[in-house]
Amino acid sequence: MKFTNGFWLMREGFSATYALHAHSASVQSASGDRSQSLQVTAATKRINHRGDTLNAATLGLKLDSPAPDVIRVNFSHHLGGKPALKFPVTQSTVTAVANVDEECATLTSGNLQVRVSMGSDWNLEFVADEKVIAHQRSRSLGFVLDDEGNHHLSAQMSLGVGEQVYGLGERFTPFIKNGQTVDIWNEDGGTSSEQAYKNIPFYLTNAGYGVFINHTGKVSLEVGSEAVERVQFSAVAQDLEYLVIYGPTPKEILDKYTALTGRPPLLPEWSFGLWLSTSFVTDYDEKTVQGFIDGMRDRDIPLSVFHFDCFWMREFQWCDFEWDARTFPEPAAMLKRLKADGLRISLWINPYIGQASPLFEEGKRMGYLLRRNDGPGGTAGSVWQWDLWQAGNAIVDFTNPAAREWFQSKLRPLLEMGVDCFKTDFGERIPTDVIYHDGSDPEQMHNLYTQLYNQTVFDLLVEHSKDDAIVFARSATVGGQTMPVHWGGDNTSSFESMAESLRGGLSLGLSGFGYWSHDIGGFEGNPDPAVFKRWLAFGLLSSHSRLHGNESVRVPWAFDDEAVDVTRKFVNLKQSLMPYLLQTSKSAHENGTPMMRAMLLEFPADRTCWNLDQQYMFGPDLLVAPVFSSVGDVEFYLPEGEWTNFFSGEVVSGGRWVRENHKFDSLPLYVRAGSALLDLVGKN
């Protein structure tokens, strides 16, 4: 949120109070804990004598370290209220050392130190290897009151010359976030807007550090878009916590961030194969489904997973978790037939219960649905409902343990029937005018809701299938990476949407998520065959690959014969890469390094790679440059070193831009020198 009117003035309706004077500091040490912390009292006016301590606010800062090279800052104004909800952070063994003297208070953790200058000129600096990597100086830490009575805590981090900001979740806006206003608030906005399904209050910069704002509610960021030499983040709260994570490389930053917030499990090999969907509002029954599967088999296109989208259930009754008997009269027998050759089955679900669902009355009676605050004295009263999506739509309250068990009990029979995984759709449009079972603040639960929803389903899958557990989720927040996999949401059938999908995936990878997918060909509209064929190569060189659409199916023969050939080629290519992909997935599991990597992850010292968002590294050794045009012209960058064309075997030198033209069955695909993948060159 923007508070200022230029450099000098406040916007109308806002008043700000900033930390000006580090008045006192002390070293704290918990009983039996070798690690120390700092407690700093910051006055909001300069204290020259005792009288200056009257009629002035103070800000309290606690600085500690949950892990080496990580400094956590918690700053607060009034402490009489309920603390803000925070994401769980793993505490590792760390020995942080604090010191206070007349000039400075310091806390050192590993190679990172925070320094607070004592006295009347506010200055807080983060120092790594004797270099200031970020700072918070005048008017950088404070609280803002607005005319509506809201209390905002605001912090600003410096933005150095040439410093660029990345991450903040799966964002489809420009890849480099400088100049943008970003609200960490999950919304169902498609891929062609500034809204995002997966908002992550974490960013990293090319200056060697990342910042994790540990607040589950709405966090507003101004990335050089208000104070152009600063990143500002604010929230309506009385306490706000953020962690500064020193790398210095982007990979090391992600390693340390995911050590705090969680890493994904290893996924089963079958999940990396091709997923085929019925699509959304298309007409289908068992005969249609069998025709799709037989069509893939007859055309020698390996298929790993078949997905039944929404209309496996009866209209208006989403979700009742019952097969529509009109189109699927014998679902158990059908699944047995479909799975005879090793095919896996996915089903679409969401956390909403339409009024026509038999589960609505049951959930209402048991208290398992979100309630309005229209009861006596503002207590829980009627079930929260609206008519968007399903008529009389209600929402499951996952803060209620009994509701979670109830929800799982409706899914368990489907797993026993032969279903292998669930597409956990939605979870973003969560209201704030509700009362939760556990009393959670609805504003701070809005983003966190998806975590409880996906965790409920993922835990059931782990219980049922252990190492084969996988969801196909759309919404996420911090920690969502531990419950893969996630896909990019509702894109359109255009080259522009193909490019924005890639930007979103690369940003999500720089936000701690190891796996990612997208709807090949685009979800909305009926893609031109050229769009579909170009997208096939990109989609099958992504960590997970799914054919899915809205009003039309994405079976390749629905486009043209060449689309069939392109699908077959790239499915087989991905299958040939499987040992490499499984090894690459270990990096996500062990270090938080995504499978699809922004170029800056592998080449942080190459300034050109800081800006690239139309190509990526698929694992450490395979460079992919999707083609975003029907004519096949593409320009891409090869970093320094020797590169081998995966298809032709031609060896070229990097450190330069390359222009090529490709037919639909090809794209720039280059292997890094020394890679074991060189054994596959020229064989696809």
In angstroms, rounded to a whole number, what is the distance separating the alpha carbons of residues 421 and 414? 10
Q: Report the C-alpha gap between 553 and 382 in whole angstroms.
A: 40
Catalytic residue selected from 490, 519, 613, 621: 490
The tokens of 442 are what?
Answer: 């609805």
Residue with tokens 């009994």: 402
φ, ψ for residue 339, nearest 5 deg: -90, 0
How many CB atoms sit inside 10 A of residue 410's CB? 15
| C-alpha gyration radius of the chain | 26
Name the amino acid, one letter, at 637.
Answer: Y
Write the single-letter amino acid at 619.
G
Q: How many CB atoms lie within 10 A of CB 82?
A: 11
C-alpha 254: how far from chain center: 13
CB 116 within 8 A of CB 100: no
The number of angstroms, rounded, from the C-alpha of 423 to the middle of its chain's C-alpha atoms is: 16
Is 315 among the catalytic positions?
A: no
Q: Are 355 and 385 in contact (CB under 8 A)?
A: yes
Which one from 252, 320, 425, 621 is the annotated catalytic residue?
425
Q: Tell me what percent of the chain is helix, strand and coil, each rounded to the nearest 5.
A: 25, 30, 45
* Cα gap 178→159, rounded to integer Å: 9
Rounded (5°) CA angle 618-619-623: 40
Main-chain phi, psi angles of 358, to 5 degrees: -60, -20
Of the candidates 142, 83, 72, which has an alpha carbon nearest to the alpha carbon of residue 109? 72
Rounded to 10°, the helix 331-338/401-417 angle is 60
**What backbone phi and psi angles, to 5 degrees, belong to 259?**
-65, -30
Alpha-carbon gap, residue 113 to 123, rounded angstroms: 14
425 is catalytic: yes
DSSP state of 663: -
The catalytic residue among 428, 519, 613, 621 is 428
Query: Given the structure tokens 């807080």, which residue do they identify?
Result: 124
Measured at the CA of 629, the angle between CA 627 and CA 635, to 5 degrees, comes to: 50
Q: Per the structure block, which two tokens stand in for 100?
A: 């206070």
Residues with a known catalytic role: 425, 428, 490
